[in-house]
Homo-oligomer: A and B are copies of this chain.
Amino acid sequence: MVTLAEVAQHAGVSASTVSYVLSGKRSISVNTRQRVERSIRELGYHPNAGARALASSRSNVIALMVPLRTDMYVPVMMEIAIAVATSARAHGYDVLLLTGEEGPDAVRRVAGSGLADGMILMDVELDDERLPLLRETDRPAVLIGLPADTAGLTCVDLDFKATGALCVEHLAQRGHRDIAVIGEAPAVYERHTGFAERTLDGLRGRARELGLGLLHRPCEGGYDAMAVTLARILDERPGTTGFVVQNESAVEPLLALLRQQGRAVPEDMSVVAICPEQVAVQASVRLTSVAIPAQEMGRLAVEQLVAKLGGRGGDEVVLIAPELTVRASSGPAPAR
Protein backbone atom coordinates (compact mmCIF):
# COMPACT_ATOMS: atom_id res chain seq x y z
CA MET A 1 0.00 0.00 0.00
CA VAL A 2 1.32 3.40 -0.99
CA THR A 3 1.16 6.13 1.63
CA LEU A 4 1.26 9.86 1.41
CA ALA A 5 4.68 9.83 3.06
CA GLU A 6 6.06 7.65 0.28
CA VAL A 7 4.67 10.01 -2.31
CA ALA A 8 6.28 12.90 -0.49
CA GLN A 9 9.64 11.20 -0.41
CA HIS A 10 9.40 10.19 -4.05
CA ALA A 11 8.60 13.76 -5.04
CA GLY A 12 11.17 15.23 -2.72
CA VAL A 13 8.70 17.33 -0.75
CA SER A 14 7.12 17.17 2.67
CA ALA A 15 4.00 15.23 3.54
CA SER A 16 2.00 18.37 4.11
CA THR A 17 2.78 19.59 0.63
CA VAL A 18 1.37 16.42 -0.86
CA SER A 19 -1.70 16.79 1.29
CA TYR A 20 -2.18 20.35 0.10
CA VAL A 21 -1.72 19.39 -3.50
CA LEU A 22 -4.52 16.91 -2.97
CA SER A 23 -6.89 19.22 -1.17
CA GLY A 24 -6.03 22.44 -2.95
CA LYS A 25 -6.26 24.25 0.36
CA ARG A 26 -3.18 26.32 -0.18
CA SER A 27 -1.34 27.52 -3.21
CA ILE A 28 1.41 25.37 -4.61
CA SER A 29 4.01 26.30 -7.18
CA VAL A 30 3.36 24.81 -10.57
CA ASN A 31 6.65 22.96 -10.43
CA THR A 32 5.97 21.30 -7.09
CA ARG A 33 2.42 20.43 -8.03
CA GLN A 34 3.56 18.68 -11.17
CA ARG A 35 6.26 16.71 -9.41
CA VAL A 36 3.81 15.58 -6.77
CA GLU A 37 1.15 14.67 -9.28
CA ARG A 38 3.67 12.69 -11.22
CA SER A 39 4.73 10.75 -8.14
CA ILE A 40 1.12 10.06 -7.27
CA ARG A 41 0.57 8.63 -10.71
CA GLU A 42 3.76 6.64 -10.83
CA LEU A 43 3.29 5.09 -7.43
CA GLY A 44 -0.43 4.51 -7.92
CA TYR A 45 -1.28 6.33 -4.74
CA HIS A 46 -4.79 6.35 -3.26
CA PRO A 47 -5.52 8.33 -0.11
CA ASN A 48 -6.64 6.11 2.74
CA ALA A 49 -10.25 6.83 3.54
CA GLY A 50 -10.02 5.89 7.20
CA ALA A 51 -7.00 8.01 7.93
CA ARG A 52 -8.52 10.91 6.11
CA ALA A 53 -11.78 10.57 8.01
CA LEU A 54 -9.95 10.37 11.30
CA ALA A 55 -7.78 13.39 10.71
CA SER A 56 -10.40 15.59 9.14
CA SER A 57 -13.45 14.22 10.97
CA ARG A 58 -15.31 14.10 7.69
CA SER A 59 -15.93 10.83 5.91
CA ASN A 60 -17.14 12.15 2.59
CA VAL A 61 -19.93 9.64 2.80
CA ILE A 62 -23.63 10.30 2.98
CA ALA A 63 -26.05 7.73 4.25
CA LEU A 64 -29.21 6.92 2.35
CA MET A 65 -31.95 5.29 4.38
CA VAL A 66 -34.38 3.25 2.31
CA PRO A 67 -37.10 1.69 4.42
CA LEU A 68 -38.28 -1.46 2.70
CA ARG A 69 -42.00 -1.13 2.57
CA THR A 70 -43.60 -3.63 0.29
CA ASP A 71 -46.37 -1.28 -0.68
CA MET A 72 -44.10 1.36 -2.13
CA TYR A 73 -43.46 1.27 -5.83
CA VAL A 74 -39.96 -0.09 -6.04
CA PRO A 75 -38.67 1.29 -9.35
CA VAL A 76 -39.17 4.84 -8.15
CA MET A 77 -37.26 4.13 -4.96
CA MET A 78 -34.48 2.65 -7.02
CA GLU A 79 -34.42 5.54 -9.42
CA ILE A 80 -34.13 7.97 -6.54
CA ALA A 81 -31.41 5.88 -4.93
CA ILE A 82 -29.42 5.75 -8.14
CA ALA A 83 -29.85 9.47 -8.66
CA VAL A 84 -28.64 10.09 -5.14
CA ALA A 85 -25.60 7.90 -5.64
CA THR A 86 -24.74 9.52 -8.93
CA SER A 87 -25.20 13.10 -7.78
CA ALA A 88 -23.31 12.35 -4.60
CA ARG A 89 -20.30 11.16 -6.57
CA ALA A 90 -20.43 14.33 -8.61
CA HIS A 91 -19.96 16.20 -5.33
CA GLY A 92 -17.21 13.93 -4.08
CA TYR A 93 -19.33 11.85 -1.76
CA ASP A 94 -20.00 8.13 -1.58
CA VAL A 95 -23.30 6.68 -0.50
CA LEU A 96 -23.94 4.25 2.31
CA LEU A 97 -27.10 2.22 1.84
CA LEU A 98 -29.19 1.66 4.96
CA THR A 99 -32.37 -0.35 4.95
CA GLY A 100 -35.30 0.00 7.31
CA GLU A 101 -34.40 -3.30 8.95
CA GLU A 102 -32.29 -1.67 11.59
CA GLY A 103 -34.96 0.87 12.40
CA PRO A 104 -34.27 4.28 13.82
CA ASP A 105 -31.14 2.96 15.51
CA ALA A 106 -29.37 3.22 12.22
CA VAL A 107 -29.56 6.99 12.55
CA ARG A 108 -27.81 6.83 15.89
CA ARG A 109 -25.21 4.40 14.75
CA VAL A 110 -24.24 6.21 11.58
CA ALA A 111 -24.27 9.63 13.13
CA GLY A 112 -22.41 8.50 16.23
CA SER A 113 -19.70 6.60 14.43
CA GLY A 114 -18.97 9.30 11.96
CA LEU A 115 -19.48 6.76 9.21
CA ALA A 116 -21.41 9.37 7.29
CA ASP A 117 -21.29 13.14 7.31
CA GLY A 118 -25.00 13.51 6.69
CA MET A 119 -28.02 11.53 5.66
CA ILE A 120 -30.91 11.39 3.25
CA LEU A 121 -34.10 9.70 4.38
CA MET A 122 -36.52 8.30 1.86
CA ASP A 123 -40.15 7.40 2.21
CA VAL A 124 -40.72 9.70 5.15
CA GLU A 125 -43.98 9.30 7.06
CA LEU A 126 -46.02 12.19 8.39
CA ASP A 127 -45.06 11.26 11.92
CA ASP A 128 -41.79 9.48 11.26
CA GLU A 129 -40.11 7.75 14.17
CA ARG A 130 -36.67 8.68 12.87
CA LEU A 131 -37.28 12.41 13.16
CA PRO A 132 -36.79 12.89 16.90
CA LEU A 133 -33.41 11.18 16.65
CA LEU A 134 -32.55 13.26 13.66
CA ARG A 135 -33.23 16.47 15.51
CA GLU A 136 -30.98 15.39 18.37
CA THR A 137 -28.12 14.69 16.02
CA ASP A 138 -25.94 17.46 14.79
CA ARG A 139 -25.49 15.71 11.45
CA PRO A 140 -27.24 17.44 8.57
CA ALA A 141 -30.11 15.52 7.02
CA VAL A 142 -32.48 15.88 4.12
CA LEU A 143 -35.81 14.14 3.84
CA ILE A 144 -37.39 12.99 0.63
CA GLY A 145 -41.04 13.38 1.44
CA LEU A 146 -42.75 15.70 3.90
CA PRO A 147 -43.42 14.90 7.54
CA ALA A 148 -46.20 16.67 9.43
CA ASP A 149 -43.81 18.98 11.23
CA THR A 150 -41.00 20.24 9.04
CA ALA A 151 -39.56 22.61 11.62
CA GLY A 152 -35.78 22.41 11.62
CA LEU A 153 -35.73 19.97 8.72
CA THR A 154 -34.86 20.17 5.07
CA CYS A 155 -37.26 18.33 2.81
CA VAL A 156 -37.51 17.65 -0.89
CA ASP A 157 -40.63 16.36 -2.56
CA LEU A 158 -42.98 16.65 -5.47
CA ASP A 159 -45.70 19.19 -4.72
CA PHE A 160 -48.38 16.54 -4.41
CA LYS A 161 -51.07 19.02 -3.43
CA ALA A 162 -50.49 20.97 -6.62
CA THR A 163 -50.37 17.65 -8.43
CA GLY A 164 -53.84 16.71 -7.22
CA ALA A 165 -55.16 20.12 -8.16
CA LEU A 166 -53.58 19.89 -11.59
CA CYS A 167 -55.23 16.54 -12.34
CA VAL A 168 -58.65 17.83 -11.37
CA GLU A 169 -58.17 20.95 -13.45
CA HIS A 170 -57.21 18.93 -16.49
CA LEU A 171 -60.36 16.85 -16.28
CA ALA A 172 -62.56 19.84 -15.42
CA GLN A 173 -61.33 21.75 -18.44
CA ARG A 174 -62.45 18.87 -20.61
CA GLY A 175 -65.92 18.95 -19.21
CA HIS A 176 -65.79 16.12 -16.72
CA ARG A 177 -68.10 16.71 -13.75
CA ASP A 178 -67.77 13.50 -11.78
CA ILE A 179 -64.33 12.27 -10.93
CA ALA A 180 -63.22 9.13 -9.16
CA VAL A 181 -59.84 8.81 -7.52
CA ILE A 182 -58.20 5.39 -7.34
CA GLY A 183 -55.74 5.69 -4.51
CA GLU A 184 -52.91 3.75 -2.99
CA ALA A 185 -53.51 0.69 -0.83
CA PRO A 186 -55.38 1.43 2.39
CA ALA A 187 -52.23 0.68 4.37
CA VAL A 188 -50.54 3.68 2.78
CA TYR A 189 -53.24 5.99 4.11
CA GLU A 190 -53.32 4.32 7.47
CA ARG A 191 -49.61 4.95 7.78
CA HIS A 192 -50.36 8.59 7.05
CA THR A 193 -47.80 8.76 4.34
CA GLY A 194 -47.52 12.38 3.46
CA PHE A 195 -47.73 12.25 -0.28
CA ALA A 196 -50.99 10.32 -0.43
CA GLU A 197 -52.79 12.67 1.90
CA ARG A 198 -51.40 15.78 0.28
CA THR A 199 -52.51 14.60 -3.12
CA LEU A 200 -55.96 14.04 -1.74
CA ASP A 201 -56.00 17.55 -0.29
CA GLY A 202 -55.18 18.96 -3.68
CA LEU A 203 -57.75 16.86 -5.46
CA ARG A 204 -60.53 17.66 -3.01
CA GLY A 205 -59.69 21.32 -2.70
CA ARG A 206 -59.76 22.03 -6.40
CA ALA A 207 -62.80 19.80 -6.96
CA ARG A 208 -64.67 21.82 -4.35
CA GLU A 209 -63.59 25.10 -5.89
CA LEU A 210 -64.73 23.97 -9.31
CA GLY A 211 -67.88 22.33 -8.02
CA LEU A 212 -67.01 18.85 -9.20
CA GLY A 213 -68.03 15.56 -7.66
CA LEU A 214 -65.08 13.64 -6.28
CA LEU A 215 -65.05 10.12 -4.94
CA HIS A 216 -61.88 8.72 -3.43
CA ARG A 217 -61.26 5.00 -3.00
CA PRO A 218 -58.04 3.44 -1.79
CA CYS A 219 -57.23 0.26 -3.70
CA GLU A 220 -54.87 -2.64 -3.30
CA GLY A 221 -53.05 -3.44 -6.50
CA GLY A 222 -54.05 -6.19 -8.91
CA TYR A 223 -57.03 -7.14 -11.04
CA ASP A 224 -59.34 -8.53 -8.40
CA ALA A 225 -59.11 -5.61 -6.02
CA MET A 226 -59.46 -3.15 -8.89
CA ALA A 227 -62.54 -4.96 -10.19
CA VAL A 228 -64.29 -4.65 -6.85
CA THR A 229 -63.28 -1.02 -6.43
CA LEU A 230 -64.38 -0.07 -9.94
CA ALA A 231 -67.74 -1.80 -9.57
CA ARG A 232 -68.41 0.10 -6.37
CA ILE A 233 -67.46 3.41 -7.86
CA LEU A 234 -69.68 3.01 -10.90
CA ASP A 235 -72.46 1.82 -8.67
CA GLU A 236 -72.27 4.84 -6.38
CA ARG A 237 -71.55 7.40 -9.09
CA PRO A 238 -72.81 6.11 -12.42
CA GLY A 239 -72.07 9.46 -13.97
CA THR A 240 -68.32 9.18 -13.40
CA THR A 241 -66.36 9.98 -16.55
CA GLY A 242 -62.94 10.87 -15.19
CA PHE A 243 -60.43 8.87 -13.19
CA VAL A 244 -57.36 9.97 -11.36
CA VAL A 245 -55.13 7.00 -10.48
CA GLN A 246 -52.35 7.17 -7.96
CA ASN A 247 -51.35 3.53 -7.71
CA GLU A 248 -49.01 1.91 -10.18
CA SER A 249 -50.37 -1.57 -9.74
CA ALA A 250 -53.95 -0.43 -10.35
CA VAL A 251 -53.24 1.31 -13.65
CA GLU A 252 -53.22 -1.65 -16.01
CA PRO A 253 -56.05 -3.48 -14.26
CA LEU A 254 -58.21 -0.36 -14.53
CA LEU A 255 -57.55 -0.03 -18.24
CA ALA A 256 -58.23 -3.71 -18.83
CA LEU A 257 -61.47 -3.62 -16.88
CA LEU A 258 -62.77 -0.54 -18.64
CA ARG A 259 -61.97 -2.18 -21.96
CA GLN A 260 -63.74 -5.34 -20.87
CA GLN A 261 -66.82 -3.39 -19.96
CA GLY A 262 -66.90 -1.76 -23.34
CA ARG A 263 -65.99 1.67 -22.07
CA ALA A 264 -63.55 3.26 -24.44
CA VAL A 265 -60.62 5.37 -23.20
CA PRO A 266 -60.64 8.31 -23.78
CA GLU A 267 -63.99 8.47 -25.61
CA ASP A 268 -66.15 7.30 -22.72
CA MET A 269 -63.77 7.59 -19.82
CA SER A 270 -60.72 9.73 -19.22
CA VAL A 271 -57.85 8.53 -17.07
CA VAL A 272 -55.13 10.68 -15.54
CA ALA A 273 -52.35 8.93 -13.68
CA ILE A 274 -49.87 10.10 -11.08
CA CYS A 275 -47.01 7.72 -11.72
CA PRO A 276 -43.50 7.35 -13.08
CA GLU A 277 -43.08 8.32 -16.71
CA GLN A 278 -42.22 4.76 -17.65
CA VAL A 279 -45.50 3.36 -16.36
CA ALA A 280 -47.46 6.03 -18.21
CA VAL A 281 -45.73 5.35 -21.48
CA GLN A 282 -45.75 1.59 -21.30
CA ALA A 283 -49.40 1.19 -20.34
CA SER A 284 -51.76 -0.36 -22.88
CA VAL A 285 -53.19 3.12 -23.39
CA ARG A 286 -50.54 5.81 -23.20
CA LEU A 287 -51.53 7.71 -20.11
CA THR A 288 -52.02 11.38 -19.54
CA SER A 289 -50.02 11.74 -16.37
CA VAL A 290 -48.11 13.74 -13.82
CA ALA A 291 -44.70 12.12 -13.56
CA ILE A 292 -42.89 11.36 -10.34
CA PRO A 293 -39.60 13.21 -10.87
CA ALA A 294 -37.48 10.59 -9.17
CA GLN A 295 -34.17 11.71 -10.61
CA GLU A 296 -34.77 15.31 -9.72
CA MET A 297 -35.77 14.40 -6.20
CA GLY A 298 -32.58 12.47 -5.69
CA ARG A 299 -30.46 15.18 -7.22
CA LEU A 300 -32.08 17.98 -5.24
CA ALA A 301 -31.78 16.05 -2.01
CA VAL A 302 -28.06 15.65 -2.54
CA GLU A 303 -27.61 19.29 -3.46
CA GLN A 304 -29.45 20.40 -0.35
CA LEU A 305 -27.38 18.08 1.80
CA VAL A 306 -24.09 19.10 0.26
CA ALA A 307 -25.01 22.73 0.81
CA LYS A 308 -25.71 22.05 4.47
CA LEU A 309 -22.48 20.10 4.84
CA GLY A 310 -20.67 23.08 3.42
CA GLY A 311 -22.33 25.32 5.96
CA ARG A 312 -24.43 26.93 3.27
CA GLY A 313 -28.21 26.91 3.10
CA GLY A 314 -30.50 26.30 6.02
CA ASP A 315 -33.69 24.38 6.57
CA GLU A 316 -35.93 24.55 3.65
CA VAL A 317 -38.85 22.76 2.08
CA VAL A 318 -38.20 22.29 -1.60
CA LEU A 319 -41.32 21.39 -3.54
CA ILE A 320 -41.00 20.37 -7.17
CA ALA A 321 -43.74 21.78 -9.37
CA PRO A 322 -45.79 19.05 -11.04
CA GLU A 323 -45.96 18.78 -14.80
CA LEU A 324 -48.88 17.18 -16.53
CA THR A 325 -48.21 15.50 -19.85
CA VAL A 326 -51.23 14.97 -22.06
CA ARG A 327 -51.24 11.58 -23.76
CA ALA A 328 -53.90 9.28 -25.15
CA SER A 329 -55.95 8.50 -22.07
CA SER A 330 -57.81 11.76 -21.57
CA GLY A 331 -60.20 13.72 -23.71
CA PRO A 332 -63.46 15.64 -23.63
CA ALA A 333 -66.25 14.27 -21.48
CA PRO A 334 -68.85 12.43 -23.55
CA ALA A 335 -72.06 14.33 -24.31
CA ARG A 336 -74.72 13.28 -21.86
Interface residues of A (CB under 8 A from B): 44, 46-54, 57, 59, 61, 64, 66, 68, 74-75, 77-79, 81-82, 85-86, 89, 94-99, 101-102, 108-109, 112-115, 221-223, 249, 252-253, 256, 282, 284
Determine the residue in chain B with the shortest Cβ distance to A45. Answer: B112
Contact of A82 among B85, B99, B222 (CB under 8 A): B99
Determine the residue in chain B with the shortest Cβ distance to A98. Answer: B85
Q: Which residues of chain B are within 8 angstroms of A282 by Cβ–Cβ distance?
A: 221-222, 249
5 A-B pairs with C-beta separation under 8 A: A50-B51, A50-B57, A53-B54, A86-B99, A96-B97
Are A113 and B49 interface neighbours, CB within 8 A? yes
Q: Which residues of chain B are within 8 angstroms of A284 by Cβ–Cβ distance?
A: 223, 253, 256
A175 and B35 CA atoms in complex are apart in Å by: 74
Q: Which residues of chain B are within 8 angstroms of A249 by Cβ–Cβ distance?
A: 282
A115 and B98 CA atoms in complex are apart in Å by: 16
A249 and B278 CA atoms in complex are apart in Å by: 11
Q: Which residues of chain B are within 8 angstroms of A66 by Cβ–Cβ distance?
A: 82
A225–chain B nearest beta-carbon distance, Å? 10
A103 and B280 CA atoms in complex are apart in Å by: 31
Are A115 and B89 interface neighbours, CB within 8 A? no
Are A97 and B54 interface neighbours, CB within 8 A? no
Contact of A99 among B48, B51, B53, B89 (CB under 8 A): B89
Copy count, this protein chain? 2
Are B74 and A86 interface neighbours, CB within 8 A? no
A149 and B61 CA atoms in complex are apart in Å by: 34
Q: Which residues of chain B are within 8 angstroms of A54 by Cβ–Cβ distance?
A: 48, 50-51, 53-54
A72 and B86 CA atoms in complex are apart in Å by: 18
Are B112 and A85 interface neighbours, CB within 8 A? no
A291 and B78 CA atoms in complex are apart in Å by: 21
Q: Which residues of chain B are within 8 angstroms of A47 by Cβ–Cβ distance?
A: 113
A46–chain B nearest beta-carbon distance, Å? 3
Determine the residue in chain B with the shortest Cβ distance to A60. Answer: B115
A312 and B57 CA atoms in complex are apart in Å by: 34
Centre residue among A46, A47, A94, A114 by max chain B CB count within 10 A: A94
Determine the residue in chain B with the shortest Cβ distance to A46. Answer: B112
Contact of A46 among B61, B102, B113 (CB under 8 A): B113
A43–chain B nearest beta-carbon distance, Å? 11
Are B44 and A68 interface neighbours, CB within 8 A? no
A114 and B94 CA atoms in complex are apart in Å by: 13
Other A-B contacts than A50-B114, A64-B97, A89-B102, 7 sampled, CB-CB below 8 A, are A46-B112, A49-B59, A74-B78, A75-B78, A81-B97, A85-B97, A222-B282
